[in-house]
Amino acid sequence: MEIGQILSYDELRAFSGFQIQHGMNYSTPKGGHVFLMSMRENAPYEDWISEDGSLVEYEGHNQTKSLCADPERTDQPRRNKSGSLTKNGKFEEEALKFKNHGIGPCKISIFNKVKDGIWTFCGVFSLIDVSYVQAGPRKVFRFKLQLAESNPQTHSVVDLRHDRMIPSEIQAAVFKRDQGRCVKCGSTENLHFDHILPYSKGGSSKKVENIQILCAKHNLSKGNRFV
Ligand SMILES: [Zn+2]
């Protein structure tokens, strides 16, 4: 898996080894830790990724609706009623272990929502810091993460000259235009967002005209042209 790879819900489930239902996933059966983020207009949380794709700020998650009347005006919980840590609390503990004692950092695979049921891989990130800050009427967790690996299978380090972050709205527009298929062969498997003119050669990540969907086979054959 590489940055820019497009995953259906089934592929995401295969990666993590379970039915992902929530944004924050601590110790999944296969994929370590997983964060799902969304920067779409109506997204419930304030997630942010830097233009070069190397930094993420991820907001913690609210109290569940079954436990409080107005989650959006209630401090995000660190502990459950039973006293056990919530996902916020578990990841906070990991972040503080690293910040205060140099243990870790904990690595989290991050996926960004393109549309319902479609995600792109943003990389494996190190959880390096956390704050618990006032946001309007309540307090929220803000997790800070730094890109560590571009490929979780090989643990290779990213080369940002080639793997430049494509903004969410561009990904969504390209996915719609290309109808979720490889533009060369029409395949719907192992898809990838591809820069037509590579970023390293001055191609833009912000222009719909410069981004296309390719399958793994056609992405690879294209890559060879530039070796
Ligand atoms: Zn293809």
Encode pLDDT of 41-93 as tens digits: 888 899 999 888 899 999 999 988 888 889 999 999 999 989 999 999 999 99
Ligand 1 mean position, distance from CA 202 (Å): 24
Q: Output the pLDDT for position 163.
A: 57
Ligand 1 mean position, distance from CA 220 (Å): 10
- Classify 5-160 by CATH class: mainly beta
Ligand 1 mean position, distance from CA 219 (Å): 7
DSSP codes, 115-159: ETTEEEEEEEEEEEEEEEEEETTEEEEEEEEEEEESBTTTTBPP-
Q: Tokens 């304030």 belong to which residue?
A: 46
Q: Mind listing the pLDDT tens digit for each residue in 129-164?
A: 999 999 999 999 999 999 998 888 787 776 655 557
- What residue segments make up the domains of the chain, in order of their start? 5-160, 166-227
Q: Output the pLDDT for position 100.
A: 96
- 130 forms beta bridges with 143
Mean pLDDT of 13-22: 90
Ligand 1 mean position, distance from CA 191 (Å): 8
Which residues hold their Cβ within 5 A of ligand 1, which is an ion? 182, 184-185, 187, 215, 218
Is 80 exceeded by the pLDDT of residue 12?
A: yes
